[in-house]
């Protein structure tokens, strides 16, 4: 069988990204233009600014990724693009660029779910073994997804309120840490002590759902109360205690689900997968089991288009196609 | 020379194919419906109808705003990606200028405008000279009331064009009196074939650096600049 080359486009938040992937597993080129410096001054991603940057970057990033690949257009089998979820104005840039490209070069168009992309980032490192459990943790998502085969996703647990990444950003803001706050908390936590007993939301006995709003409020209250009483809390200890609470719930539920569904592999995906504390805790917990744990290299944890092309390869091979009427869908279901 | 023209900058959606100043085909809809969903199918339909393939295009013309931020970006992203992937030149034309073309046989000054909410309009002033349009006053985002004060002071006849004309005709007539000309409703929607014709005479843009003509900073930037100024002043 001949090789399959998919060009992927990702613009769901604040990265303009294009990549070309061979056979769903091998990165041929992978270009990411990050806007993070532009959003820092606003303390978070401003959707209108993100859209403005995407339209300025899109053809530049396309050109760089295509030239870097050394391929001809004849080699490319299909154009894959994130159709959702994400910021609608940002998604629209990728979707419309993908449609124009598919039309101009007469290539099939394949819409991809952003989270499917995060999961498939792992397949660039190691082949999947089914059934497989994926823990997705990012600014917008906290989910446990069961996969029994390629391209099929069963959400067995999700957050009922805030995503883990959201809680990180909120707490980071309380501690006056610069945006994005996650990595700063992770760094502070490594130097602190778990001295404060923050709550852990286990929810019902048999549930794999998450909840982080209670924890978020508890941290905010703790800081407020300490301030009012004139007590000084060590920022490192707040970070360590908060992070311990998040990680404890994430890791415990992931292990429990992995055992219950007798999975052959556990995958961690999404921006928060870059978190050192989380990686260490999961690694420790899973060495006690005989289930292999995959965590993508840092570069593939954050948003990129290699993952979209990788997930798009499966959609393409399974015969899934999108029409020229494809639209951005900010609340697309997995 | 075959030019594909794309305009999704305001409510109307327009696609045209112009060959050496001859309009070969044109699609215009004027309904509040999703540009992102409908633009590529409209291009596909027009091209198929005219039996033209993408490789046969020589140039892309695109309306670069002002207008709806999202609409402008949908058109520009599509146009830029088409131009880049087909390796053909692109020309961006102001959405106000395209609209002004609808009055290019008039001897009056031409004032195209789009409603920009809260009493504001995106507008500019054009004049036709031998069928070509000259920009007489810079395009701007301004209060309609201020703009009309300014226009009346010139004591010249001005023809007003806007898809939002019905909302503002009253105040224009009241302030401008006999100096205001408002044509019948059919003339207030921009035509993509005019965009192609306007692009014909313009310099080629750089595909990568062609950006929307927003005429306005993003709100977050305005607030940020204000905060910086306040900080500086103590
Ligand atoms: Zn993501």
Could you read off the pLDDT of B52-80 as tens digits, one per residue? 999 999 999 999 999 999 999 999 999 99
Answer yes or no: do A104 and B219 touch at CB < 8 A: no
Domain that holds residue B52: 2-95+190-218
pLDDT at B233 (0 to 100): 82
Answer yes or no: do A92 and B77 touch at CB < 8 A: yes
Domain that holds residue A262: 127-295
Same domain, A111 and A182: no
In 10 A of CB B46, how many CB atoms? Answer: 19
Chain B residue numbers with beta carbons less than 8 Å from the beta carbon of A109 are none
Does some domain include residue A330? no
Q: Which two tokens stand for residue B197?
A: 């014709």
Closest CA to A9 of A303, A274, A302: A303
Same domain, A164 and A276: yes
Does some domain include residue B164? yes
Same domain, B112 and B54: no
Q: Is the pLDDT of residue A102 over 90?
A: yes
pLDDT at B73 (0 to 100): 98
Nearest by CB: A103 against B34, B40, B211: B40
Chain A residue numbers with beta carbons less than 8 Å from the beta carbon of B34 are 327
* Predicted complex ipTM: 0.96
Instruction: Give chain B's domain count.
Output: 2
Cα–Cα distance, A304 to A327 (Å, whole number): 20
Cα–Cα distance, B47 to A247 (Å, whole number): 55
Does some domain include residue B207? yes
Q: What is the 3-state secondary structure (H, E, C) of chain A?
A: CCCCEEEEEECCCCEEEEEEEECCCEEEEEEEEECHHHHHCCCCCCHHHHHHHHHHHHHHHHHHHHHHHCCCHHHCCEEEEEEECCCHHHHHHHHHHHHHHHHHHCCCEEEEEHHHHHHHHHHHCCCCCCCEEEEEECCCCEEEEEECCCCCCEEEEEECCCCHHHHHHHHHHHCCCCCCCHHHHHHHHHHCCCCCCCCCCCCCCCCCCECCHHHHHHHHHHHHHHHHCCCCCCHHHHHHHHHHHHHHHHHHHHHHHHHHCCCCEEEEECHHHHCHHHHHHHHHHHHCCCCCEECCCHHHHCCCCHHHHHHHHHHHHCCCCECCCCCCCCCCCC
Same domain, A154 and A98: no
Does some domain include residue A95? yes
Same domain, A87 and A219: no
Cα–Cα distance, B82 to B68 (Å, whole number): 21
Does some domain include residue B233? no
Answer yes or no: do B40 and A97 touch at CB < 8 A: no
Cα–Cα distance, A79 to A5 (Å, whole number): 9
Same domain, B63 and B13: yes
Does some domain include residue A324? no
Does some domain include residue B224? no
Does some domain include residue A333? no
Q: For A141-185, what is each residue's pLDDT tens digit?
A: 899 999 999 999 999 999 999 888 888 988 998 898 988 888 999
User: Within an 8 Å CB–CB cutoff, is residue A103 touching chain B?
Assistant: yes
Mean pLDDT for the stretch of residues B105-116: 96
In 10 A of CB B28, how many CB atoms? Answer: 16
Q: For A125-143, what is each residue's pLDDT tens digit?
A: 999 999 999 999 987 889 9
Mean pLDDT for the stretch of residues B154-162: 96
Same domain, B43 and B87: yes
Does some domain include residue A207? yes
Q: How many CA atoms lie within 13 A of B109 on its CB side?
A: 16
Same domain, B100 and B211: no
Same domain, B54 and B70: yes
Same domain, B114 and B66: no
Q: Is the pLDDT of residue B17 over 90?
A: yes
Does some domain include residue B232? no
Nearest by CB: A104 against B86, B209, B211: B86
Q: For B182-229, what is each residue's pLDDT tens digit?
A: 999 999 999 999 999 999 989 999 999 999 999 999 999 899 999 999
Same domain, A77 and A182: no
pTM metric for this prediction = 0.94
User: Within an 8 Å CB–CB cutoff, is residue A217 touching chain B?
Assistant: no
Nearest by CB: B69 against A46, A48, A97: A48
Q: For A194-224, what is each residue's pLDDT tens digit?
A: 999 999 999 998 999 999 999 999 999 999 9
Peptide bond connecting A284 to the previous residue in cis, omega within 30 degrees of 0 = no
Same domain, B200 and B142: no
CATH number at residue A226: 3.30.420.40
Cα–Cα distance, A270 to A161 (Å, whole number): 18
Q: For A275-302, what is each residue's pLDDT tens digit?
A: 999 999 999 999 999 999 999 888 898 8
Same domain, A309 and A288: no
% pLDDT > 90, chain A: 81
User: Within an 8 Å CB–CB cutoff, is residue B85 touching chain A?
Assistant: yes
pLDDT at B128 (0 to 100): 95
In chain B the first and final C-alpha atoms are separated, in Å, by: 59
What confidence category does residue A37 fall into, taking pLDDT thresholds of 50, 70 and 90?
Answer: confident
Averaged confidence pLDDT in chain A: 94
Nearest by CB: A59 against B41, B74, B80: B80
A177-181, B137-141, B179-183, range with the lowest pLDDT? A177-181
Chain A residue numbers with beta carbons less than 8 Å from the beta carbon of B76 are 55
pLDDT at B234 (0 to 100): 65
% pLDDT > 90, chain B: 90
% pLDDT > 70, chain A: 100
Cα–Cα distance, B74 to B84 (Å, whole number): 15
Instruction: Give chain A's domain count.
Output: 2
Does some domain include residue A331? no
Same domain, B148 and B115: yes
Same domain, A69 and A134: no
Same domain, A59 and A149: no
pLDDT at A329 (0 to 100): 96
Does some domain include residue A278? yes
Same domain, A281 and A166: yes
Same domain, A193 and A144: yes
Same domain, B127 and B194: no
> Would you put residue B71 in left (φ > 0), alpha (ψ -120 to 50) or beta?
alpha
User: What DSSP assignment string belongs to B46-74?
Assistant: HHHHTT--GGG--EEEEE--SS-HHHHHH
Same domain, A258 and A306: no
């Amino acid at each position: 069988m001949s090789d399959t080359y998919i060009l992927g486009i990702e613009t769901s938040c604040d990265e303009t990204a294009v990549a070309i992937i061979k056979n769903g597993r091998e990165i041929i080129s992978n270009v990411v233009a990050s806007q993070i410096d532009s959003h820092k001054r606003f303390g978070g991603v401003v959707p209108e600014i993100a859209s403005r940057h995407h339209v300025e970057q899109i053809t530049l990033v396309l050109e760089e990724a295509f030239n870097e690949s050394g391929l001809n257009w004849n080699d490319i089998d299909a154009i894959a693009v994130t159709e959702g979820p994400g910021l609608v104005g940002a998604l629209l840039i990728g979707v419309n660029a993908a449609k124009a490209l598919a039309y101009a070069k007469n290539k099939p168009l394949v819409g991809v779910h952003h989270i499917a992309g995060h999961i498939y980032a792992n397949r660039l490192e190691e082949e999947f073994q089914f059934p497989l459990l994926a823990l997705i943790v990012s600014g917008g998502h906290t989910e446990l997804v069961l996969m029994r085969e390629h391209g099929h996703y069963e959400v067995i647990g999700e957050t009922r309120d805030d995503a883990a990444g959201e809680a990180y950003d909120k707490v980071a803001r309380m501690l006056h840490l610069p945006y994005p706050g996650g990595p700063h908390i992770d760094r502070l936590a490594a130097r602190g002590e778990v001295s404060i007993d923050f709550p852990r939301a286990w929810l019902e006995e048999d549930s794999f759902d998450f909840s982080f709003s209670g924890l978020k409020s508890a941290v905010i209250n703790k800081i407020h109360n300490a301030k009012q009483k004139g007590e000084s809390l060590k920022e490192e200890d707040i970070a360590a205690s908060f992070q311990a609470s998040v990680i404890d719930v994430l890791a415990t539920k992931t292990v429990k689900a992995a055992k219950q569904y007798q999975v052959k592999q556990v995958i961690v995906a999404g921006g928060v997968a870059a978190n050192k504390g989380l990686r260490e805790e999961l690694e420790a917990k899973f060495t006690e089991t005989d289930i292999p744990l995959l965590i993508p290299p840092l570069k593939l944890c954050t948003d990129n288009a290699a993952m979209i092309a990788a997930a798009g390869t499966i959609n393409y091979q399974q015969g899934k196609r999108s029409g020229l009427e494809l639209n951005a869908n900010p609340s697309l279901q997995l | 020379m075959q030019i594909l023209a794309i305009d999704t900058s305001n409510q109307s959606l327009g696609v045209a194919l112009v060959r050496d100043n001859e309009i070969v085909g044109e699609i215009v809809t004027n309904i509040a419906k999703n540009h992102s969903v409908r633009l590529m199918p409209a291009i596909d339909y027009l091209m198929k109808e005219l039996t033209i393939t993408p490789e046969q295009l020589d140039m892309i013309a695109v309306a670069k705003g002002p207008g709806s931020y999202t609409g402008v970006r949908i058109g520009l992203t599509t146009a830029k990606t088409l131009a880049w992937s087909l390796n053909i030149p692109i020309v961006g034309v102001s959405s106000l200028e395209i609209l002004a073309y609808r009055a290019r046989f008039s001897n009056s000054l031409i004032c195209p405008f789009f409603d920009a909410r809260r009493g504001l309009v995106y507008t500019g002033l054009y004049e036709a000279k031998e069928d070509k349009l000259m920009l007489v006053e810079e395009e701007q985002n301004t209060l309609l009331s201020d703009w009309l004060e300014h226009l009346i002071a010139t004591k010249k006849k001005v023809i007003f064009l806007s898809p939002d004309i019905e909302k503002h005709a009253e105040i224009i007539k009241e302030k401008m009196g006999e100096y205001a000309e408002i044509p019948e409703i059919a003339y207030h929607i921009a035509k993509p074939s005019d965009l192609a014709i306007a692009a014909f005479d313009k310099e080629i843009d750089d595909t990568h650096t062609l950006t929307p003509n927003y005429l306005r900073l993003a709100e977050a930037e305005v607030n940020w600049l204000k905060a910086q100024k306040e900080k500086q002043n103590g």
